[in-house]
Structure 1
């Protein structure tokens, strides 16, 4: 069985990639949607290489057996050559990450990752933003809301009801935040966007919620005092984690 170990490892890794990218949308926990075709192709190639390796090694083994049947000396030499060299037994441990991804895909990044990042306000000039769409509540991402709350000299959020979705994180002083991770390429480059929620009881950490409310002005525009922006909540509704848990930069 060890003869086929590396080949089976290729098949396992390829199957795991296909499971999260072709048979489900779990890949969105790790990379952007645009990378799906590359994941599918990678999975197919790995599975194909693994199957090919099994076929080639099986044929090579059969050839060695037939060569050994030609004579006692040939059998002894073929047996020694065919079976004396094996990889280290610990190499099978390499299969564990592939099995874990295949059977128990890790969840998307959440409150722990968000809390590891220090508060950083991007250098951005204050200026007027385009008007928001008509009608309330207006759907916004956390990044859109934060940008307008912190840098919009036209105060386009004033008097408007907005609705946003994210997961819950807690501060050290009893405050809680609606939080979302922003990615450019994959989960490895994720940064945090969060909005302080006031006027509503805090749900459990990592609970996904949709919050509807109004902007609460805070601090001077364009300064650290304006971060994180604040929303006075009118309603907080628990929702399922979206298929794509990240916002795009």
Structure 2
């Protein structure tokens, strides 16, 4: 049975990749949506390689291959990560990953931003809200009601935030975008919420004192975690 180890490992890995990319949206926990076709192709290639490897392994071993046939069984432990991804895919990054990023931000330059839509309630990403709050000299957020969606994180002093992780390619390059929420009680950490409120100016534009942006909340409601939990950087 050991001779089929590589084939089994390839098959499990390929099946895991196909499970998260072809049969659902789990892949969005790890990579951007545009990478889905590459994951599907990779999964199919791994399954095909597994079949080829199994066929080759059926051939009789000559005397020079006896050492390989009786190799250490510990190699089978390599199947555990593939099984974990197949049956127990890890969750999206959450508050622990968000809190590892330092609060200090380099100034990106103050300037004017395009006009916001004339809607009663603006649905903004955390990144857009934060950029306008910290760098927009035109103060386009002033007096506007906005709705932000993300998961709850908090500091030891009780301050809490709506938070999202931003990715360029995959979860490995994630960075934090968060907005401090004032005026309402915080739901439990990692709860996904939609918060409606108005911008509360803090600090001088373009400085670390202005980060993170602050929202005076009037309403907080629990929402399901979205299929794609990340914002694009």
Provide TM-score, normalisation by structure 1: 0.90
Max Rg structure = 1
Flag the structure with more relative contact order, 1 or 2, with Cα contacts below 8 A and sequence separation at least 6.
2
Equivalence for 1:208: 192
Bigger share in helix: 1
Shift of 1:87: 2.1
Distance of 1:104 and 1:81 partners within structure 2? 40
Q: Work out the CA distance in 1 between the residues paired with 2:66 and 2:203.
A: 74
Q: Normalising to structure 2: TM-score of the pair?
A: 0.96
Residue 105 of structure 2 corresponds to 121
The whole-number CA distance in structure 2 between the counterparts of 1:100 and 1:87 is: 24
Q: Per the alignment, in what secondary structure is the counterpart of residue 128 of structure 1? A: coil
Q: Measure the CA separation in 2 of the matches of 1:46 and 1:149.
A: 47
> Within 5 Å, which residues of 2 pair with 1:1-249?
1-58=1-58, 60-61=59-60, 83=66, 85-249=69-233
1:119-158 CA deviation, whole Å, 9 max, x = no partner? 1324211111111101110110000000000011111101
3-state SS of paired residue (1:124): coil
Separation in 2, partners of 1:183, 1:82: 46
Deviation at 1:86, TM superposition (A): 2.2
Q: Which runs of 4+ in 1 moved over 6 A?
A: none
Measured on the aligned residues, the alpha-carbon RMSD in Å equals 1.3
Aligned residue for 1:40, secondary structure, equals: helix
Distance 2:51 2:95 in 1: 41
Q: Closer, same or farther in 2 for the Cα pair 1:122/1:248, shift >3 Å?
A: farther
Alpha-carbon separation, structure 2, partners of 1:131 and 1:81: 74
Gaps of 5+ in 1: 65-77
Asked if 1 retains the 8 angstrom alpha-carbon contact of 2:195 and 2:220, the reply is yes
